[in-house]
A and B are shown apart, each in its own frame.
Chain A
Amino acid sequence: MIMDRRTFMKAGCLGSASLLIQGLDPMMRADSAPPAVPAIELHGLPNYKPSPLGMPGLFPGRVIEVRDQAAITNNRVSQPVVRGLLRQAMKQLTGESSPRDAWAKFIQPNDIVGIKINPSGAPACCSSPELVREIIGAIRDLGVPARNILVYDRYSYEIDLGSYQALLPTEIQIVGIQDAFAGSGDGYEPTVYCDANFFGEWETRSYMASIVAHQVTKIINVPTMKDHSASGVTGALKNLAYGTFNNVARTHRAPYSFTNPAIGSLCTVEPLRSKSVLHIMDGMRQVWHGGPLTQVQEFIEQPGILLVATDPVAMDTIELAAIEKKRREKGAPSVWEHDPGSITPDTNVFFHDANKNLFFRQPGHVEAAGKLGLGVADLKQIDHRVV
């Protein structure tokens, strides 16, 4: 396989370092004309038969929100409270009377289940191990052997920071598709990719992770609830797209971002679209500025929320509204703000000033994903049930 730019550049994951080595050009003027959106060529797995469980899934437009202040106290997530919230949400989503029957709508005992966590931003805000344990427990209750459950993300290093290895049950597999700091293109399927030249980069392809293309049969997506400096928010869509394909940081070069339309486009590629059957958004913590990597507690609320849906677009639309509301309450600019004066090339400034950003955020990626058929983006049409 061709060594991709991301691998070659050894993109890091710790804030300033990563942005600098990904080609942030402080000389690029924020008020210069944005480059045109390039053509995006998508190559899915040949002859893959789409599944009716695939996005937007069994319940398009439906989002269940459950919350309990006791779910998180002083940054500690309560396992029993999360268990209750998840069971309640699954029953509400499916209309089933038991959590087991609710889960059985998505997972069969012979499935190989991938749980796509979001450890980016660990330890301050990442998919809570307590929630992941409950998901594993629910899947095992259906008769799925532990060895057929994979908890995965793109970067093994970020998984380490979250200590998932030590905190999750024995026998399940914990997979970092690649190392953040070094390594080869191993772990990616060379025939499944997105080809687009965003900024004149020499490697224009992003490849799908092999475990998604070939190994798992179902994916449970566990995104977090965060502002994102390039995409506006990072939720279900971005967690799937940018956690499944490599060489994706090239879609944003300060101050411009092509996360719209890249995020939605990547989510349509088979078999990612068909295998992603359920999205459980971890809103125990909510980052309203500095995402996705911030460790600044000042910008992290602890509302104790879970969102559950099969429709990632509807879910992210609810998330986007929540992040916008919080930013408004805090006096921070909208994620839709495109004032050149708000752009800074200094990551340290960005991390500590909610009025500054590194990119012109692209929250429109959610609506764009809706137009690609991945779900419902119109708030008025979303069946948002707050329990």
Chain B
Amino acid sequence: MTQEAAKQHSTRDWPTLLGDNARTGGQGQRPLHRPDKAAWQFRSGDAIRSAPVLQEGVLYVASVSGALYAIDVSTGLSQWKFQAAAQVHSTPSLSGNTILLGCDDGKVYAVDRHSGKKLWDAASQAEVWSSPVIRNGIVYFGSADGRVYAVDLQSGRPRWSRDLGGRIYSTAYVAERSLYVGCGDGKVYCLESASGKVVWDTPTGNGIDSSPAVTNEIVLIGSEDFFVYALNASTGEVRWKYETGLGIASSPAVSGDFAAIGSKDGFLYAFDLRTGQLRWKTAVGEVVTAPPVIGDGVVCIQAGGTFALDIGTGKVVWRASLGGAIQSVPVLAADSIYLASLSGEIHALR
């Protein structure tokens, strides 16, 4: 690949949940315009409960029935299909030529992204709904068995695992030395990424379904206790918290000092990341459980339809009423938006 082509791909790829491992949700570097036509629609034939990811013109999406599809975004046709052994609710992650996804059989599958062939699998004792996170050749994932696992990216061999005591549906954020994750026992954990040793834990008032974002030494996460928490990444100390109207299963997206997260009370909330001051909140649906993503001057959220809100004011800029994909995350590529619906369709909007 030429340098120019690589650069082009870097602005078009979307290799993990919320765009990249920093959960930036595709910040402002991703140009986004109001879509005005549907380019194609792919029907999986089964429900889709996770989000697509994108690399080098191929969209990877898993259906609940356990089928992982590689869809050519230029045609909307599937290049191959990999069938996992059980249902899949996990958003795939991409690293090089490997695509990883969790499965309800307790395994994380590594699949060759060109051929669709299984490379290896790594087992836990319960379903894996979180999205695997890759850093420095290690794959990290949480399981409903209450443990966080670290396995080797090349082989799937275990490095370490740590029992946290509650179901883990939160997708971890992995920094150079630390891993941050929410847990069903209501705590936010910081682990040493090399060993899994617990560095700190901070309790919230109920279980955690939300996935953390970490930026500027702040861990941002929602809890089912209705609060958004900003924690000191080094100590776990609560820097600020903000109360919404109901529990939070959504995950935050951040860009600079701007942060946004949805709540089950139907609002999308925008904060000043440093102070916790509310910038705006906008009603977007009856219930919001999907994470928002940040585009060029807008925040996108799926809550029944797909909404794009002005990042400065929270006012609705445009809305696409395709599918009922309220738990999924739109993929914002350079000239396209890809949406997965709960009823199993993938829409490409231009």
Contacts and interface: CB of A to CB of B under 8 A. Distances in A.
A76 B205 CA distance: 10
A40 interface: no
Contacts of A165: 129, 144, 167, 169, 184, 209
A182 B286 contact: no
A166 B208 contact: yes
Interface stretch (B19-27, B44-52, B112-120): B44-52
Contacts of A168: 167, 184
A64 B113 CA distance: 59
A32 interface: no
Contacts of B249: 163, 166
Contact of B167 (A12, A15, A166, A182): A166
Nearest to B343: A181
Given A165-B169, A168-B167, A123 B343 contact: no
Interface residues of B, number: 41
Contact of A166 (B64, B184, B324): B184
Given A15-B286, A157-B342, A167-B207, A182 B47 contact: yes
Interface residues of A, number: 28
A124 B246 contact: yes
A160 B247 contact: no
A167 B207 CA distance: 5
Interface string A1-27: 000000000101011010000000000
A14 B126 CA distance: 29
A179 B287 contact: no
Given A166-B208, A179-B64, A12 B324 contact: yes
Contacts of B129: 165
A179 B184 CA distance: 23
A179 B47 contact: yes
Report which residue of A75, A122, A170, A171 has the largest number of chain B beta carbons within 10 angstroms of its beta carbon: A170
A183 interface: yes
A81 interface: no
A75 B324 contact: no
A14 B324 contact: yes
Nearest to B210: A166
Contact of A170 (B46, B145, B170, B344): B145
A12 B289 CA distance: 17
Contacts of A355: none
Q: Which 4 A-B pairs have the closest CB atoms?
A: A166-B209, A167-B207, A182-B47, A123-B264
25 contacts: A12-B324, A14-B304, A14-B324, A76-B205, A123-B287, A129-B207, A157-B49, A157-B342, A163-B224, A163-B247, A165-B129, A165-B167, A165-B169, A166-B170, A166-B184, A166-B224, A169-B167, A170-B145, A171-B126, A179-B46, A179-B64, A180-B342, A181-B47, A182-B46, A295-B266
Interface of A: 10, 12, 14-15, 17, 75-76, 122-124, 129, 157, 160-161, 163, 165-171, 179-183, 295
Given A14-B286, A165-B167, A167-B167, 10 more contacts: A129-B207, A166-B166, A166-B170, A167-B224, A168-B184, A170-B144, A170-B145, A179-B47, A179-B64, A181-B344
